Amino acid sequence: MISNDPNLEYDIKDGRLTTAIQCPSPNANERPTAQAVNLLVIHNISLPPGEFGTGCVQRFFSNHLDVSLHPYFQTIADLKVSAHLFIERDGNVTQFVPFQRRAWHAGVSSFHGVENCNNYSIGIELEGCDDIAYTDAQYSALAKVVQQILIAYPEITPERIVGHSDIAPGRKTDPGDAFDWVRFRRLLANK
C-alpha cells in the first residue's frame, strides 16, 4: 500500500510496484512481441460516478462488480477493462496488471500516429472525476510512482506522459480540467 510516508521505499521488480496492493485483473494480455513500453496514460475513474472509496473500481477491474448495486453499473456490465495502477483519494495504490503486460485501459486510441496505445503504454487511473480536485495524497503518490516507472522504462519521457483525452480526443475527457498538470510535473521533477 502506498502512502504519503516520505520514508516509504518505491521499487519495481518483475513488473510490479513492490509497495502496491496486488489485485490481479483477468482483463490483460501479452503485449505484441518486442513492443517497447514508451507511453504513460493518466485516467480518472469513480464508481458509481462521483463517489469515492466504494471499492467498486477494484471489483470492476477484476470482473466482480455486482451490477445490481447501482443503476449506472448496468451500463458498464459487459465491459472488460483494467489499468496497471489505481491511486485512491488517500494515496493508496493498487496494481491490477504487471507493467510488462498489456492492460485494457486506452480503448480506441492513437499517439503521434501510432494506434492502439494499450500495446505500448502504462495506464494509471486516479480515483476522481474531471471536475473534482484531486488530493494532495494522489499527486504525491502519482509523482513517486511515475518516477520509478521512468527509471524502469526509460523510453517513457516526461513528454510521453499524457491524459486519456490526449490519445482519444472527442471520446475521452479524463483526467479532466481538475487535474493540475503543472503541479504534477513540478512534483515529478523533484526527485
User: Is 155 annotated in the active site?
Assistant: no
Please state whether beta strands 121-127 and 39-45 pair in parallel, antiparallel, or not at all (unpaired): parallel
* pLDDT cut 70: percent of the chain above it: 94
- Greater model confidence, 66 or 1: 66
Residue 25's pLDDT band, with cuts at 50, 70 and 90, is very high
DSSP labels, 80-94: ----SEEE-TTS-EE
pLDDT of res. 3: 42
**9-13, 67-71, 72-76, 136-140, range with the lowest pLDDT:** 9-13
Correct CATH for 12-189 of 3.30.1960.10, 3.20.20.80, 3.40.80.10, 3.30.450.20: 3.40.80.10
Helix (H, G, I), strand (E, B), or coil: what is residue 123?
strand
pLDDT of res. 111: 98
Domain boundaries, the chain: 12-189
pLDDT of 12 over the 80 cut: yes
Distance of CA 6 to the CA centre of its chain: 22
**Which of 125, 127, 155, 159 is an active site residue?**
125
pLDDT of 16 over the 60 cut: yes
State the pTM of this model: 0.94
Q: Which amino acid is present at 157?
A: T
Within the chain, what is the greatest distance between any pair of CA atoms? Answer: 45
The Cα–Cα gap between 42 and 168 comes to 12
The Cα–Cα gap between 133 and 130 comes to 8
Average pLDDT over residues 59-88: 97
Residue 8's pLDDT band, with cuts at 50, 70 and 90, is low
DSSP labels, 99-119: TTEEES-S-S-EETTEE-GGG
**pLDDT tens-digit map of 77-118:** 999 999 999 999 999 999 999 999 999 999 999 999 999 999
Nearest to 150 by CA among 100, 111, 188: 188
pLDDT of res. 190: 87
pLDDT of 171 over the 90 cut: yes
pLDDT of res. 191: 63
Nearest to 97 by CA among 109, 105, 87: 105
